[in-house]
Amino acid sequence: MKHDGSGVEAPRGTLLGRLRAARLDEVAASVAALACLLAASGGAAWTTLALALLTAVAAALVLIVALSVPRGPAAALGRFPVGRALLAAALLGLDAPAAAALLALALFAESACARILRAQAPLASRLPGCRIAEPRRISGAAAAPVWIGALVVVAWLSWWSAPWWLGAFVAAASLVITSFSAARGILRIRSRRDDASRLGESVLRLAPEFVVHWDALPGTAFQMRMWMPYLEALGRPFLVVARNPDSYPEAVSSTTGPVVYRPEIEDLDGVVVPSMRAAFYVNNATRNVQFIRYAELTHVQLNHGESDKAPSFSPSLRAYDLNFVAGRAAIDRFAAHDVPTHEGFFRIVGRPQTADIATSTRDDEVRVVLYAPTWAGFHADSAYSSLAFGELVVEALIARGLTVIFRPHPHTDMSPVLRDQAVRVRAMLRADGATSGRRHLVGPAAETELTLVECFNASDALVADVSSVAADYLASGKPFAISQVLSDAAPGPDGLVSGGYPFDASAGSIAGAVDEMLRDPRREQRLERRAHVLGPPAAEAVAAFVAAATEAIQPRRA
């Protein structure tokens, strides 16, 4: 088994990167459809049979691939237009011109329906005066599967020489269903525009004193959920501004307060009202700058974890007025990388999220290890994941008779390399559990049914990467091993890595770090690092955060 340990995929500009980014499923669907069309031109009985079989196979391929995307059947709308048009044209070889024409019209209607449905993101949730608070879109998911089904039925009806009108009726049904979804979408857009005209008045009546600006991909709700209880505890009226339609439902489920969807920069003016004095951010998304432009607000970066990752000391963070950090280590991190900041930029507020993390005693024996690798990141300087050689890590844990809780980062599947590695790791643990009887936690049992804190408390030790997972684990006092995938993962002796047992991508290094973690000679050193990284104890951190946040939303002095 060979690993390079980088975890970084080939750039898209390279030949390998282009091949990985190519939509081979669309190419396959088009090729299959073209084969159907060529077979139909022969006219012989066997070519007609081949046409029917290939039509069914190609249709199944289109449907399976379309339904496998993360957003479910709705994402199938308008997919594979070339291949599907060729499939419809192939019906001409089966003497079904009426059905072919109706299916072509249904395909065009489906593309229009997809555009209409994309424009239906709700305006607001829990905001008085705005009625649209249901999920993101009226579902037009049935349109694509019905079209595929209609195509297969028409092809086989023609093969069995059924009356032409029967196939035309089936194709017409597909057109009617798609048109009905589009009509419902148009009506909802009209209603949404009526509500949009009242949005400004509704926000004025709400009189929010602060706003939470959130732009993130789906599956990232943990960024908001770790801070919303403490922001809500301020007892002040507030507003959440969500920028991504796909993650809007997650924003709604992460708070009890009002949420508005404002996708474009020009949409933001209507939600910034005179009562608003501060804006809080839980990540450093690129589009945050579109809200930072409101100079009358105090802009506060909370971030979503404490770590030595490069984004934690990025010069772009200086765009905010204040940076709330857990402990002194975050401030030292900027200095260690020669990133100057203005006076009063930092506020040490601790990590109130660690309040529920159970602490250990010196005599605790390590039997259960949590392996929680991070993801690949968006850029090379944040590719800290050890999952690229995760099989070696798990092999070392299994060899020592340890039970493993495997919890990869929620964004792991964004990288094909890490996604495949996660599949292999799960398979390894399931196979070992079947032979050894150890009850490894794999899949939903570890990734969704338990919270991260519950995984912390169920484990005796941790194997992780440079991420907030390792930092928060410091609160438990338990030992951890931490990867050094990037050469700058430990900025000096005060870095987070110094509190754990570092390892690289080699099997020997991993084995050595695991053995050291089991003996834990650095326990006292790690406990000394805890306050430096995490700041005041969790019980005090809540009060520290509330005090700092309350100060941030006070009117500015003239």
Distance, in Å, from the CA atom of 250 to the CA atom of 243, rounded to the nearest integer, reads: 12
Q: 179-212: per-residue pLDDT in tens?
A: 888 887 787 777 777 777 788 889 999 999 999 9
Mean pLDDT over residues 285-294, rounded?
A: 96
Cβ pair 198, 224 in contact under 8 A: no
Give the pLDDT of residue 304: 84
Fold of 199-351: Rossmann fold (3.40.50)
Q: Does domain 15-195 have CATH number 3.30.1540?
A: no
Give the pLDDT of residue 482: 92
Distance, in Å, from the CA atom of 332 to the CA atom of 310, rounded to the nearest integer, reads: 13
Mean pLDDT over residues 478-482, rounded?
A: 94
pLDDT above 90: percentage of residues in the chain = 43
Identify the band that residue 116 occupies on the pLDDT scale cut at 50, 70 and 90.
confident
Residue 95: CB atoms within 10 Å: 14
pLDDT averaged over the chain?
81
Distance, in Å, from the CA atom of 56 to the CA atom of 321, rounded to the nearest integer, reads: 60
Fold of 359-534: Rossmann fold (3.40.50)
Residue 55: CB atoms within 10 Å: 29
Identify the band that residue 31 occupies on the pLDDT scale cut at 50, 70 and 90.
low
Cβ neighbours of residue 412 closer than 8 Å, sequence gap 6 or more: 373, 375, 387, 418, 419, 422
Q: Which residue has the higher pLDDT, 541 or 34?
A: 541
Q: 385-415: per-residue pLDDT in tens?
A: 899 999 999 999 999 999 999 999 988 887 8
Q: Which residue has the higher pLDDT, 208 or 109?
A: 208
Q: 81-97: per-residue pLDDT in tens?
A: 766 776 777 676 667 78
The residue written with tokens 């732009």 in the block is 215
β-pair partners for 278: 210, 298
pLDDT of 64 > 90? The answer is: no
Q: Which residue has the higher pLDDT, 381 or 345?
A: 345
Give the pLDDT of residue 161: 80
Give the pLDDT of residue 206: 94
Q: Which residue has the higher pLDDT, 15 or 55?
A: 55
pLDDT of 294 > 80? The answer is: yes
Q: Which residue has the higher pLDDT, 225 or 199?
A: 225
Residue ranges of alpha helices (H) inside 405-451 are 416-436, 444-447
Mean pLDDT over residues 42-60, rounded?
A: 55
Give the pLDDT of residue 25: 46
Cβ neighbours of residue 86 closer than 8 Å, sequence gap 6 or more: 30, 33, 34, 36, 37
pLDDT of 324 > 90? The answer is: yes
pLDDT above 70: percentage of residues in the chain = 77
Q: Which residue has the higher pLDDT, 522 or 69?
A: 522
Give 449's DSSP letter: S
Mean pLDDT over residues 294-308, rounded?
A: 90
Q: 156-178: per-residue pLDDT in tens?
A: 887 778 888 888 999 899 889 88
Distance, in Å, from the CA atom of 229 to the CA atom of 209, rounded to the nearest integer, reads: 16
Q: Which residue has the higher pLDDT, 189 or 469?
A: 469
Give the pLDDT of residue 468: 86
Of 29-33, 158-162, 343-347, 498-502, minimum mean pLDDT range: 29-33
pLDDT of 135 > 80? The answer is: no
Q: What are the structural domain ranges in the chain?
A: 15-195, 199-351, 359-534
Give the pLDDT of residue 451: 92
Give the pLDDT of residue 94: 66
Q: 427-449: per-residue pLDDT in tens?
A: 999 999 999 999 999 999 999 89
pLDDT of 422 > 80? The answer is: yes
Which is nearest to 365 in space by CA: 498, 459, 439, 475?
459
Distance, in Å, from the CA atom of 241 to the CA atom of 261, rounded to the nearest integer, reads: 6
Residue ranges of alpha helices (H) inside 437-522 are 444-447, 452-458, 468-473, 507-519
Mean pLDDT over residues 484-496, rounded?
A: 53
Mean pLDDT over residues 21-38, rounded?
A: 53
Do 359-534 and 199-351 fall under one CATH topology? yes
